[in-house]
A and B are shown apart, each in its own frame.
Chain A
Amino acid sequence: MKNVIKVMVLGVFVMSLFVSCAKQPTQEIDAAKAAVEAAANEGATIYAPEELKAINDQMTAAMDEINTQSKKFFKKYGPAKEMLVKAVADADALKATIPAKKEAAKNAALTAQQEAQAAITEAKTLLEKAPKGKGTKADIEAMKADLKGLEDSFPQIQTAIDQEDFFGASNTAATIKEKAVAISDQVKAAIEKVKGKI
């Protein structure tokens, strides 16, 4: 009987040792939160929102697991820790990809800006070359006014780039380019019209 009591006491001691030793992985939680926040601050909300959401979901799952374990008699935070470590690794990896993504968006905006400028220049050159004959003068003057309007809008691209709104800059540039190309096409048509008259 004495032996049974001894075993029971020892069992209780070992169990309480298990229970009290399993502490919540607060360090890993803090690290994961910081990593996710750092990725978001780097620009993941704009350049990789889906990936960021997936990492946030990993975080939530890890927190749920911690919550589950905290209610258990035998707490096992190992899997939650692993999840958090993975979340940190994923967030760090995501953060590392953002500058490249941002750079790509910036380059796309700069390219679009150059293309818009080239389209304006082409339209301008064509308008200068356009026949000064009476038959097209009104059309040419009107197109010049349209082109001035596009030139007036052009600085918006740089403003957007300066504000790091690269997608907005690309949209504006693409729109200006499209409209400038349309003017070039009209000038070409006007030139053809005059040639036809001759």
Chain B
Amino acid sequence: MKSVSLTFILFSVLFFSACKTPPVPPEVEQAKVQENDLWRAGAPVYAAEEHSKYLLSLGLAKEKLIKQKARFGWFRKYEEVMASYQAVLAEGETILKKVKEEKESKSRDISGQLALLEDRISKLKNATLNMNENDLIRRNLARAGVASQEAEILLRREKYADLPEKIKTIDRHVSQAEEALFSILARYSDEDQVGAWRKWAAETIAESRKRGTTAIVVNKLERTLSLYKKGILIGVYEIGLSKYGLSDKLYAGDGATPEGKYTVIKKLPRSRFYKALLIDYPNEEDKRRFSQAKKRGLIPPRAGIGGLIEIHGGGNDSITNGCVGVENAVMDQIFPEVAVGTPVTIVGSLESAGRLITGLRK
């Protein structure tokens, strides 16, 4: 009896030791790597639902694996486990693809929004480049610029969740800059006002043609000085204006450049600002407006109407006190052409700023 038992045990040991324990399928390890890849790619954020389902499938596959692992080595069968893991891997691949597409789509969308905002910033910068009264505009554009650069950093780091708030900040500052610009340009988009300015310029040119004399038309919005001889345009020059050059001058120290039909009353070959042409500001219309404004209390009680408005040298990138500044070389060209009595018409603009505003709003 004893020898039979021993033989049976020996036989059993030999029999089972001849059987190999099947190896765990490689898909199990691959799934571990994939699960990490999905996490790193941001699947829990960009494909949350699919990722939850994936984890469920992975859990079920793991259950099957665990079930097999719980068996004695020679009873383990991994075919079903392998199939489950293969399905999980396929599911994971689909999610990875979706996450990639989702991120690309978000990146495209946000890049597009940022590009539009950058375009608005750039348009505003160009539109206000030569404006002296651009403090508020530039301040807001600087703030928008900071937010925009931060948004670029977030975009590079794929922090898409933080970007909508940043985009809102940029938009807010750009909108504030636009509103500041539009309020400055409101007068320049008034068709009646622009019509009156056109009429002044046309009358000045016609007079120059009729009398065969020289005439000057200053366009404040374009920042140009046009020189006419016998009604023919002979030169266009860049100009500099005062701090609030786009406003119509009302009183001394308001930092505005006057608008109206004036005449050169004195030529100064030696001036503080190279050479100068003094004009007859204030004219009758200026005096009438000043008086009305004073009566209404729109100007400081002690303020005078001002005067000594000139076209002078010193540079076109200057900020004058109401005068029109040009480069010294330009002054050299204009000065000999202009005589005392030459008409100087200063207009806000010959074209409505409405189009500019519409362009910026787009």
Interface residues of B in 164-178 (CB under 8 A from A): none
Task: Decide: B146 and A145 in contact? CB cutoff 8 A.
Answer: no
Interface centre among B39, B146, B162, B314 (most CB of A within 10 A): B146
Interface centre among A134, A137, A141, A171 (most CB of B within 10 A): A134
Instruction: Indicate if A12 sits at the interface (CB-CB under 8 A).
Output: no
Residue among A138, A146, A178 making CB contact with B142, cutoff 8 Å: A146
Residues of chain A within 8 A of B36, CB atoms compared:
53, 57
Task: Decide: A148 and B135 in contact? CB cutoff 8 A.
Answer: yes
Instruction: Indicate if B342 sits at the interface (CB-CB under 8 A).
Output: no
The DSSP consensus for interface residues of chain B is helix
Residue among A134, A148, A152 making CB contact with B314, cutoff 8 Å: A134
Task: Decide: A152 and B139 in contact? CB cutoff 8 A.
Answer: yes
Residues of chain A within 8 A of B67, CB atoms compared:
71
Q: How far is the CA of A105 from the CA of B149 in the complex (A)?
A: 20
Instruction: Indicate if A136 sits at the interface (CB-CB under 8 A).
Output: yes
Residues of chain A within 8 A of B314, CB atoms compared:
134-135
Given A64-B62, A67-B66, A141–B146 Cβ distance below 8 Å?
Answer: no
Instruction: Indicate if B317 sits at the interface (CB-CB under 8 A).
Output: yes
Q: How far is the CA of A188 from the CA of B162 in the complex (A)?
A: 36
Instruction: Indicate if A94 sits at the interface (CB-CB under 8 A).
Output: no
Residues of chain A within 8 A of B145, CB atoms compared:
149, 179
Instruction: Indicate if A164 sits at the interface (CB-CB under 8 A).
Output: no
Task: Decide: A146 and B317 in contact? CB cutoff 8 A.
Answer: no
Q: Which residue of B lies closest to A152 (CB)?
A: B143
Task: Decide: A142 and B138 in contact? CB cutoff 8 A.
Answer: yes
Instruction: Indicate if B361 sits at the interface (CB-CB under 8 A).
Output: no
Tier of interface size on chain A: 20 to 34
Q: Which residue of A lies closest to B144 (CB)?
A: A149
Residue among A67, A135, A175 making CB contact with B146, cutoff 8 Å: A175
Total number of A-B contacts with CB less than 8 angstroms? 97
Q: How far is the CA of A116 from the CA of B232 in the complex (A)?
A: 55
Nearest CB on B from A11, distance (A): 14
Residues of chain B within 8 A of A147, CB atoms compared:
142
Instruction: Indicate if A84 sits at the interface (CB-CB under 8 A).
Output: no
The DSSP consensus for interface residues of chain A is helix
Tier of interface size on chain B: 35 or more
Task: Decide: B317 and A145 in contact? CB cutoff 8 A.
Answer: no
Residue among A134, A146, A172 making CB contact with B150, cutoff 8 Å: A172
Residues of chain A within 8 A of B162, CB atoms compared:
168
Task: Decide: B134 and A172 in contact? CB cutoff 8 A.
Answer: no
Q: Which residue of B lies closest to A61 (CB)?
A: B32
Given A150-B146, A153-B146, A134–B273 Cβ distance below 8 Å?
Answer: yes
Task: Decide: A145 and B318 in contact? CB cutoff 8 A.
Answer: no
Q: How far is the CA of A64 from the CA of B28 in the complex (A)?
A: 13
Q: Which residue of A lies closest to B139 (CB)?
A: A149
Residues of chain B within 8 A of A191, CB atoms compared:
none
Task: Decide: A138 and B317 in contact? CB cutoff 8 A.
Answer: yes
Instruction: Indicate if B282 sits at the interface (CB-CB under 8 A).
Output: no
Q: How far is the CA of A71 from the CA of B69 in the complex (A)?
A: 9
Nearest CB on B from A142, distance (A): 6
Nearest CB on A from B142, distance (A): 2
B: which residues have CB within 8 A of A?
32, 36, 39, 62-63, 66-67, 69-70, 130, 132, 134-143, 145-147, 149-150, 153-154, 162, 240, 243, 273, 314-315, 317-320, 325
Could you pull out 25 A-B pairs where Cβ atoms are within 8 angstroms?
A53-B39, A64-B62, A64-B66, A67-B62, A67-B63, A69-B70, A135-B317, A135-B318, A137-B318, A138-B132, A138-B318, A139-B317, A141-B135, A145-B136, A146-B138, A149-B146, A150-B143, A153-B142, A153-B146, A153-B147, A156-B146, A168-B162, A179-B142, A179-B145, A179-B146
Known pairs A145-B135, A145-B136, A146-B142; list 15 more (Cβ under 8 Å).
A134-B320, A135-B315, A135-B318, A138-B318, A142-B138, A145-B134, A145-B137, A145-B142, A148-B139, A149-B140, A149-B141, A153-B142, A168-B150, A171-B154, A176-B146
